[in-house]
Structure 1
Amino acid sequence: MNSSMAPEKYRKPPQLPPKFTATPSSLIEETKRLIERSRNVQDGIVRDVTPETASFENTILPSARDDNKMAIESHIIGFYQAVSTDKALRDASTEAEALLDDFGIESSMREDIFGLTDAVYKKKENLDPESQRLLEKDYKSFIRNGLNIPAGPKRDRFKEIKKRLSEISIAFQKNLNEEQGGVWFTPKELDGVPEDVVSSLKKGEGENEGKVWLTFKYPDLFPTLKYAHSADTRKTLFVKNENKCNGNVPLFREAVLLRDEAARMLGYNNHAEFKIEDKMAKLPKTVDDFLGDLRTRLAPGGKKEIEKLLELKRQDLKDRSINDGTDEKYFLWDSRYYDRLMLEKDYSLDHQVIAEYFPLQTTIQGMLKIFEELFGMVFIEIIGEDRAALADGGKSSDIVWHEDVQVFSVWDDEGEGSGFIGYLYLDLFPRDGKYGHAANFNLQPGYIDENGNRRYPCTALVCNFSKPTPKKPSLLKHEEVVTLFHELGHGIHDLVSRTTYSRFHGTSTVRDFVEAPSQMLENWCWTPSQLRSLSHHYSYLSSDYEAAYKESSGADQKPSEQIPNSLVAKLINTKHVNDALFNLRQLHFGMFDMTVHEPKSHEEIENLDITTTYNKLRKDISQLDGPEALGGDWTWGNGQATFGHLIGGYDAGYYGYLSSQVYSTDMFYSVFKENPMNGKEGRRYRHTVLERGGSKEEMDILEEFLGRKPSTESFYKELGISK
C-alpha cells in the first residue's frame, strides 16, 4: 500500500521499531554492558544452584531469557559493519562483534555452567518439546566446545584455537567488505559492455588519462564478464578478481588447519565429521555420496553443454576474424559471455529488454502482494508522519540506518487473526563500505518473554541493485528478481516464525535446510502467471520515463504494460540452459569444501596445496579451462580467498545449497506446482514449516509437510536427468 497514511488500524504497531542512532563509542559501551549483564546472569546461576538442586527452570531458562534480551541488541550492533556509511561506526561494530564473540567463547567454555547443565540433562525432567531441544542443544554445545577435554594444556590449546578462528573469520570478511580493487581499462577494451555501466565508472587522470576504473563489485564485474567482446579484457578481469583478496590466502589455510586440529582433539576424524553430525545429513559419507551421485549424473550434461558452447565460440571468433588459437579451449572467462550469447542467439533472449518490465519498486510491491495472498499477510510501508510517530519522540530518520532504506510494518490479514507480525526493512542500493552481496539479516528475533508476552521480530534485506536515474528507474534483470524473491523468502521465514526461544527463531535452522524455504519460493519467478502479474513496464511509471524510453528505444509508442506471453515463454525455456555447468560449479564449491575439511590425517592437510587443489578440482569438475591451459601452472588465482562462505559458517556445509535444493524442489513439485497461488497450502506451509524456525528437528518438519520422506526424484526431474 502506498498512501501517505496507513489505515488507522495499522498505524500503531504494539512494539516500536528499534533506533539506529549508535555512535562508535556507544556501540562499544553498549556491548560491554550486555556482556556484563550476561556474565552476571551466569555467575548468579552458579552462585544459587548446585548439581543437586539444578533444574531446567533455575539453570537453563535464566540463560535462555538473557539470550533473548541479548539478541534484541547484539544483532543490530553487528549489523552496522554491513551497512553504515561511517567507517568509524563500521570499525566499532566489527570490534564490538569481536568482543561478543570472545564472550561467547568464554561462556561456552564455563565448566561450572557445564556441570550444572550436565546435572539437568541427566535428570530427564518432563519438558515441553522446544525446551527439551534447547537443553539438548546446550548440553551438546558444551561438549562440542571441548568441555569433555580434561582441563590443562590440551583444553587451553582448544580455547586458543576457538579464539583464533573467530579472529580469522572477522578479518577475512572485513578484507572482503573493504576490498577496493579494480582494473583500469580503456573504453575500447570494454567494447560491448552496456553503456550505462561504462558511463558510471570513475574516469582516470594523469597516467590513467583516457581510462576508466572498473571495480570487482557485482554491478561492474558481471556485465563486463558477460558483454566485453575482448577475451583479454575478460581474462584480465577474471584472473584479477580471483586474486583480489590474496591477504586472505594465509588466513584460509590457517583456518582449515586449526579446524582439523580442534576436531581431532574432540575425538572426531576430521572437521567435516564434527560439523555434519548435527545437520540433517548427520554423516560426511551421506554428503560425499550425494555430491558424488550428482557429479556422475551431471558430468555428461556438462560435456554436452561445453561442446555446444565451443561451437558457438568458434563461429563467433570466425565472424570476428579472430585467430588466436583458442578455438579448442573453453575458458572460465568465456562462460558468462558465451552463455549470454547463446541465450540471445538460440533463444533470442535479451535480458536488458526483460529488465524493462521489472522496475524495482513495482516488482517489490508485486512480490509482497504474492506473499500477502499466499501466507495471509499485510505489508504497510511506513512513510511520512507515520515514521515520525514511530520514532517515539526522536527524528523520523532514527528508525532507519540510511535515507534509502524503506521500512514496512507487517501484519496478519483478517483470516489469520489481524495480529502484528514484525518489521521488514529494504536496503537496496550499493554504497561504499556496504556489504556487497544480497542477504537477509535478522535485526531482532521474536520470542515469548518471561511474562508470556510475544516479542516481535525485525528483519532486513540488504541488496545491491543499480540506482535509479532520471532516465530509468532501477530495473531488475530476471536473475535479480529471483535473488530478491530468494532473500525475501528468508525475510518471511524470519517474520512469521513463532518460537518460545530466540535461539530457534526464523532462519536459525540447520545449515543444510536453511536455504530450502527461500529456494522453494524462487519457483514463483519461473511461473508464467506470476511473472506476468509481477511485471510492469517502466515507461508506465511516469511521463518522464515514458519520454526517455521512447527516445532511447526509438519506438513511437509504449510496449504493453505487462510482459508479453511470448517473452515469458522464451525466458522459461532458458531456465535449464547450461544448467549442468551451473550445478557443476556449485559442486566444485561443495567438493572443495569437503576436500579441505575431510583429510585422512592432520599431516595430509598440512601438506595440501590449497590453491592448486581449488583450481585443479574446478577443472576436473566443471571441465572449464583456466590460465593453466595456456602454459601456466595451477597457482594462477586464489579463489578460496574470495570465498566468504567457507569462513563464515558454511564450512563443511556448502553442500547445503544443493541438498536444500533437493528439499525445495520436492516441496514445490508435490504441493505447489499445480497451483502456486493455493492459499490453503500457502498457509499450511507457513504454519508447518516457516513458523517453527529451528524449534523442531528439521527432517521431522519436512516429513510432516510432505507426508513422507524427502526424495531426490523431483530435483533430477527438474534438471532433466531423471533415471
Structure 2
Amino acid sequence: MASAKYKKPPQPPPLFTHTPDSLLKDTVRIINQSKALQDRIVKDVSPEHAEFQSVLQPFAQDDDRMSLETHIIGFYQAVSTDAKLRDASTEAEKKMDDFGIEASMREDIFKLVDSVFKKQQDDQKLDPESRRLLEKDHKGYIRMGLGIPAGPKRDRFKEIKKRLSELSITFQKNLNEEQGGMWFAPRELEGVPSDVTGDLKKGDEGTEHAGQLWLTFKYPDLFPVQKYCKNAETRRKVLVANENKCNQNIALFKEALVLRDEAARLLGYPNHATFRIEDKMAKTPKTVDDFLGDLRERLAPGGLKEIEKLKELKKTETGDADKYFLWDHRFYDTLMLERDFQLDQQKIAEYFPLQTSIDGMLKIFEELFGLAFVKLEAEDRNKISETGKGDDMLWHPDVQVFSVWDDEGEGSGFVGYLYLDLHPRDGKYGHAANFNLQPGFITENGTRRYPATALVCNFSKPTPKKPSLLKHDEVVTLFHELGHGIHDLVSRTIYSRFHGTATVRDFVEAPSQMLENWCWTPSQIKALSQHWSHLSPEYSQAWRESAGPDEKQPEASMPDDLIQSIVKTQHVNDALFNLRQLHFGIFDMMVHEPSTHEAIEELDASVKFNQLRHEISKLDGPEAMGEGYAWGNGQATFGHLIGGYDAGYYGYLSSQVYSTDMFYSVFKKDPMNAKEGRRYRHTVLEKGGSQDEMETLKQFLGREPSTEAFYKELGISS
C-alpha cells in the first residue's frame, strides 16, 4: 500500500486509557468548562452588542474542543469489555445530554443568538458555513422549546427531552448487553455450515444441556441458521426468540413514542414526524408518505410474484407450500440463489478472507479518492502515542488502526485515523456502524484538526486453521460502513458541527449506498478476491488437510463464472428486500404521525409492527398459524428508531434514489475513473453538512436529482 514516508502523522492519535472514575471526572470537567464559558458570554455581551464573533463563534469553538473528548467518552459503552467502564460511559452520556438540553434551553443565550440572527440576516461578511451555523443554531433553540412561553409548558418540555435522552441510552444499552440464546441438539441445526456450529459453545457433560449447542442472537450465529438450517421448526424458534430478545425495551419504546408526540404538540406541530422532517430534504411528512406509498404500490406485484416462485421451491422441498413464512424466506432465498443461479455462498466466502478484503477495499479508495492508508503496527504505534505505549491507542487488542494520507497528486498531507473493530464480543454494539471518535475542524489559531473514525462490525473470528471469511452480503456491508468512514475522514469543514456524516438523515446514507455498487462490478469483485488457501503456507496446508486428496487448489483470484453468479443475482428477490425496508419505513412514519395524542397512547406497537409487516412484506408470521399479531416485539430490538432515525428510516430508501442517480450518471461506465472519484470526494464528501445537501447533489450532478435511475434499477420504472 503506502510507503514508509507517510508514517509520522503531525497529530497524535486519541488515547483509550480511561477508567470508570476518570471518565466521569472528565465529563464533569468538560461540562463545568462549557457552562463557565456560557455564563461568561452572557455576563460580558449584551443583546445590543452581540455579534457572530462574540457569541456564536466561541460557542462553536467550545463544541469543537468538547467533541475531541465527548465522542470517545460515549463510545466506550459500545465497545468496552469492562462492564463498569460501559456503565460509566452510559452515565457520562446521560450527564452530557442533560447538560446539552439545559444549555439549549437557556433563554439568556437565546436572546444573544436571536439578536445576532436578526442583525446578520443581510450581513454578507459571514462565510456561507458560518451563516448556516447561525441559522441552524437559531432554529435549534426554537425547536428546543424557547418559542414556548416560560412556565409549566416549557418546564414540561424540558422534562420530556431529558427523559427521551434517558430512554434512548437505556434502550441501546439493553441491546448491547443482550446475552440471549437457545440450546439446540446438533440434529436440529442440520445444514448449518460446520465452521459455524464448530464454534458454538457446547453444553457441559453431566448437565441437562450435555451434547447440545448454544446459539446466540449475534449475527455470525443468527444469519447462518436462518439461511442454511434445514429444520423449519428451528428457524421458527430462532426467529421468534430473536424478536423477543429485548422485551424490557417494549415499554421504553412506547414511552418514547408518547413523549415525542407530546413534545411536538407543545411546540405547535401536529405530530413528531412533522417536527422531525421539517429540517430534512423531504421537508414534509406528505412528501415521505407519498414516496413510500408509491414505492409500495410499484413493488407489491413484484413481491407477490417472487413469493410464488419461492413457494414452488418450498413445495419441491417439503411437498407443502400453502404458507410462506418469515422463517422460510432467508432459507429459500439462499436455496434459490444456489439452485437457479449457481450461487454457492460458502464457495464465494472462501475468496473473501476478511483481511485481504479490507486491503482490497482500501486500495480501491486509494485509487478512486487519492488516499493512502498505512497500517500502524505495534512499533509504529509506540512511536506516535503520546504515552509512548502503542496499546494505549486501542480499546481492544483486536482493533486495527491506520494513518490516512493524501497521495502525492492530492498533496501528500495527513488526513486522519481509521480504526477497525470487526469481531463480536460480550457487551459490544451488535450491528455494523461507523462511529466518529474525533471530528475535524479549523482550530482557533487557523490550523486543521484531523479526524479519527471507527468501524464497529461483527464478522466471525478467524480460527487457527481458517481466516475469517465474508459472505458477499458481508462484503457489501463492510464496504458500506467503510464508505461512511471515508466520508468522515475526507470531510473539510470549519466547524465540527458539520463534519463528515453530520448531514441530514435522509441524505447521510447516499454516499455509502453509492459505493456499494463497486461490490457488484466484476472487475472490483476480482480485485477484492483472494482464495484463503493462498494467504500463507500454514493456510495452504490447512486447506489441503480439509480438501480431498485429489482436489486441485483453487485459483488465487475468484474465477469469472463465480463472479458472474454474484453479479446476476444482484436483483433476485429485490422486491421482497425493498418491501422489508418499506415495512420499517412505513411503521416508523405511522407511529410518529398519529391523528391524536390519545391514538398514540392507545397504540399497541408490537401488534402494529407485526400487522404492517404481514400486510407490506406479504410474508406469513405466527399470526398465519392463529397466534394473533402479539407474538413478537421487533420494535424493541430496532435501535434505529430510538437512536436518531425516528421519522427518518425512510432515508435509507430516499437516499438510494440519490445514490443510484449519482452512480448511473457518473460512475457506471467506469467505476474506477480517478478524475470523477476525486471530483466526488471534493464536491460531495468534503462538504459534510456545511451546505444544503440538495445543493451538494446539484453541484455534483449538474442538475436536479432524478428518481429515474432508481426505479429503472429496481425494474419498476413507469
User: Offset of 1:315 from its aligned partner?
Assistant: 0.6
SS of alignment partner, residue 507 of structure 1: coil
Contact 2:179 2:426 in 1 (8 A): no
The answer to whether 1:195 aligns with 2:194 is yes
**What amino acid is the match of 2:313?**
L
Cα-to-partner distance string for 1:373-420 (whole Å, 9 max, x where unaligned): 100011111113211011134311011111111111111111111110
Contact 1:313 1:338 in 2 (8 A): yes
SS of alignment partner, residue 52 of structure 1: helix
For residues 297 and 557 of structure 2, the distance between their equivalents in structure 1, rounded to whole angstroms, comes to 42
1:655 corresponds to: 650
Contact 1:550 1:557 in 2 (8 A): no
SS of alignment partner, residue 499 of structure 1: coil
The answer to whether 1:428 aligns with 2:422 is yes
TM-score (norm 1): 0.98
The answer to whether 1:687 aligns with 2:688 is no
User: Offset of 1:35 from its aligned partner?
Assistant: 0.4
The answer to whether 1:548 aligns with 2:548 is no
1:219-234 paired onto structure 2 within 5 Å: 219-234=220-235
Match of 1:580 among 575, 581, 588: 575
User: Offset of 1:12 from its aligned partner?
Assistant: 1.7
1:130-529 paired onto structure 2 within 5 Å: 130-205=129-204, 206-318=207-319, 327-529=321-523
**What amino acid is the match of 2:599?**
E
User: Offset of 1:327 from its aligned partner?
Assistant: 2.1
For residues 120 and 142 of structure 1, the distance between their equivalents in structure 2, rounded to whole angstroms, comes to 13
Contact 2:7 2:374 in 1 (8 A): no
SS of alignment partner, residue 211 of structure 2: coil
For residues 280 and 145 of structure 1, the distance between their equivalents in structure 2, rounded to whole angstroms, comes to 20
For residues 610 and 392 of structure 1, the distance between their equivalents in structure 2, rounded to whole angstroms, comes to 50
For residues 437 and 378 of structure 2, the distance between their equivalents in structure 1, rounded to whole angstroms, comes to 23
For residues 11 and 589 of structure 1, the distance between their equivalents in structure 2, rounded to whole angstroms, comes to 45
For residues 273 and 660 of structure 1, the distance between their equivalents in structure 2, rounded to whole angstroms, comes to 19
For residues 8 and 386 of structure 2, the distance between their equivalents in structure 1, rounded to whole angstroms, comes to 11
For residues 588 and 168 of structure 1, the distance between their equivalents in structure 2, rounded to whole angstroms, comes to 24
For residues 337 and 681 of structure 2, the distance between their equivalents in structure 1, rounded to whole angstroms, comes to 36
1:562-641 paired onto structure 2 within 5 Å: 562-641=557-636
Which has the higher mean CA deviation after the structures are superposed, 689-698 or 596-605?
596-605
For residues 675 and 522 of structure 2, the distance between their equivalents in structure 1, rounded to whole angstroms, comes to 21
Cα-to-partner distance string for 1:268-326 (whole Å, 9 max, x where unaligned): 110000000000000100000000110011000000000000000011003xxxxxxx5
User: Offset of 1:621 from its aligned partner?
Assistant: 0.3
User: Offset of 1:525 from its aligned partner?
Assistant: 0.3
User: Offset of 1:550 from its aligned partner?
Assistant: 2.4
**What amino acid is the match of 1:571?**
I
1:323 corresponds to: none
User: Offset of 1:631 from its aligned partner?
Assistant: 1.2
The answer to whether 1:719 aligns with 2:714 is yes
**What amino acid is the match of 2:589?**
M
User: Offset of 1:497 from its aligned partner?
Assistant: 0.2
1:10 corresponds to: 6
For residues 571 and 536 of structure 1, the distance between their equivalents in structure 2, rounded to whole angstroms, comes to 15
Contact 2:378 2:391 in 1 (8 A): no
The answer to whether 1:128 aligns with 2:123 is no
Cα-to-partner distance string for 1:532-554 (whole Å, 9 max, x where unaligned): 01111111111221122223232
Contact 2:179 2:216 in 1 (8 A): yes
Cα-to-partner distance string for 1:111-161 (whole Å, 9 max, x where unaligned): 100011000000023311000000000000000000010111111110110
Which has the higher mean CA deviation after the structures are superposed, 388-397 or 346-355?
388-397
User: Offset of 1:605 from its aligned partner?
Assistant: 1.2
For residues 479 and 514 of structure 1, the distance between their equivalents in structure 2, rounded to whole angstroms, comes to 21
SS of alignment partner, residue 193 of structure 1: coil
Match of 1:51 among 47, 51, 54: 47
Cα-to-partner distance string for 1:616-645 (whole Å, 9 max, x where unaligned): 100010000011111111100011100000
The answer to whether 1:696 aligns with 2:697 is no
Contact 2:277 2:284 in 1 (8 A): yes
Cα-to-partner distance string for 1:308-357 (whole Å, 9 max, x where unaligned): 00000011003xxxxxxx52100000000000110111011110100111
Cα-to-partner distance string for 1:233-281 (whole Å, 9 max, x where unaligned): 1101111111111111111110000000100110111000000000000
Q: Unaligned 5+ residue runs, structure 1?
A: 319-325
SS of alignment partner, residue 56 of structure 1: coil
**What amino acid is the match of 1:604?**
A
**What amino acid is the match of 2:252?**
L
User: Offset of 1:211 from its aligned partner?
Assistant: 1.4
User: Offset of 1:429 from its aligned partner?
Assistant: 1.1
For residues 387 and 229 of structure 2, the distance between their equivalents in structure 1, rounded to whole angstroms, comes to 53
1:40 corresponds to: 36
SS of alignment partner, residue 207 of structure 1: coil
SS of alignment partner, residue 482 of structure 1: helix
1:19 corresponds to: 15
For residues 540 and 410 of structure 1, the distance between their equivalents in structure 2, rounded to whole angstroms, comes to 28
User: Offset of 1:566 from its aligned partner?
Assistant: 0.8
User: Offset of 1:464 from its aligned partner?
Assistant: 1.0
For residues 22 and 517 of structure 2, the distance between their equivalents in structure 1, rounded to whole angstroms, comes to 44
The answer to whether 1:60 aligns with 2:56 is yes
**What amino acid is the match of 1:136?**
E
1:110 corresponds to: 106
**What amino acid is the match of 1:39?**
K
User: Offset of 1:556 from its aligned partner?
Assistant: 3.2
SS of alignment partner, residue 58 of structure 1: coil
CA RMSD of aligned residues (A): 1.0
SS of alignment partner, residue 419 of structure 2: strand
**What amino acid is the match of 2:669?**
E
**What amino acid is the match of 2:217?**
F
Contact 1:272 1:598 in 2 (8 A): yes
For residues 328 and 547 of structure 2, the distance between their equivalents in structure 1, rounded to whole angstroms, comes to 29
For residues 308 and 347 of structure 2, the distance between their equivalents in structure 1, rounded to whole angstroms, comes to 28
SS of alignment partner, residue 57 of structure 1: coil
For residues 231 and 429 of structure 1, the distance between their equivalents in structure 2, rounded to whole angstroms, comes to 28
Q: Unaligned 5+ residue runs, structure 2?
A: none
Contact 1:272 1:284 in 2 (8 A): yes
Contact 1:374 1:677 in 2 (8 A): yes
Cα-to-partner distance string for 1:678-708 (whole Å, 9 max, x where unaligned): 0000000000000000000000000110111
Contact 1:447 1:455 in 2 (8 A): yes
1:322 corresponds to: none
For residues 148 and 570 of structure 2, the distance between their equivalents in structure 1, rounded to whole angstroms, comes to 51
Match of 1:706 among 676, 698, 701: 701
Contact 1:372 1:378 in 2 (8 A): yes
Identity across the alignment (%)? 71
For residues 556 and 615 of structure 1, the distance between their equivalents in structure 2, rounded to whole angstroms, comes to 48
For residues 14 and 97 of structure 1, the distance between their equivalents in structure 2, rounded to whole angstroms, comes to 30
Contact 2:697 2:705 in 1 (8 A): yes
